[in-house]
Amino acid sequence: MILEGILPYARTLLEKAVTPGDAVVDATMGNGHDTVFLANLVGEKGKVFAFDVQTEALKKTKERLEQHQLTDRVVLYHRGHEELIRTIPEKFHGKITAAIFNLGYLPGSDKSIVTKPETTKEAVEQLLEIMAPGGVIVLVVYHGHEEGKREKDELCSFVRSIDQSIAHVLLYQFINQINDPPFIIAFEKRK
């Protein structure tokens, strides 16, 4: 397929934004796949700040990082992403080059624990404040469940209101697929 799928396209955006030595954010670490991906992108001198509210996510991510020998590049936080501006050390403010969110619930776990539009919007606003110019935020929106539909609607309304002088906002989705396929909302912070 010539058109990139949703997850490959999310990674393409991150690869374009991140160089070795950068500081980045995994706002929803989940099972650790994106955390490992980002840790490889930032290299030995970079830093990944990864957030999740579930103990299970931290455990799985830590195990995955240990398997790949990447623990020294990552700081895991057992906190919601809406706390990132207070959590990420100030010396990294203005230097974050990328962030990713996988919204919805942790695959293979309690489906009643889901991301919320209020905290996601708060985290995006905080990131736009502390990111480097040209930094990219990627939201992978899973909306195949009731709370996901509410989050999708609120986020789509929210991102349309972002001033274009602050960020460019992109919507990437396949519009003729069934079963509520995920889609991407991506931001590029303006210079």
Residue 11 lies in a domain: yes
CA 173 to chain centre: 17
* Residue spans of beta strands (DSSP E) within the chain: 23-26, 47-51, 74-77, 96-103, 131-141, 167-172, 183-189
State the CATH number of the domain containing residue 172.
Answer: 3.40.50.150
Residue 14 lies in a domain: yes
Residue span of the structural domain in which 136 resides: 6-189
Q: What is the reported pTM? A: 0.95
What gap in Å lies between CA 9 and CA 132, rounded to an integer? Answer: 21
What gap in Å lies between CA 174 and CA 184, rounded to an integer? Answer: 10
Q: Which of 25, 37, 42 is nearest to 84 (CA)?
A: 25
Question: Contacts for 63-69 with beta carbons within 8 Å, 24 or more apart?
Answer: 63/32, 64/31, 64/32, 64/33, 64/35, 64/36, 65/32, 65/35, 65/36, 65/39, 68/36, 68/39, 68/40
CA 101 to chain centre: 2
Per residue of the chain (191 residues), what is the pLDDT tens digit?
789 999 999 999 999 999 999 999 999 999 999 999 999 999 999 999 999 999 999 999 999 999 999 999 999 999 999 999 999 999 999 999 999 999 886 677 666 777 888 999 999 999 999 999 999 999 999 887 778 778 889 999 999 999 999 999 999 999 998 888 999 999 999 97
Q: How many domains does the chain fold into?
A: 1
Residue 52 lies in a domain: yes
Residue 1 lies in a domain: no
Residue 133 lies in a domain: yes
Residue 106, pLDDT score: 64
Residue 115, pLDDT score: 83
Residue 61 lies in a domain: yes
Residue 45's contacts (CB-CB under 8 Å, 6 or more residues apart) are 20, 21
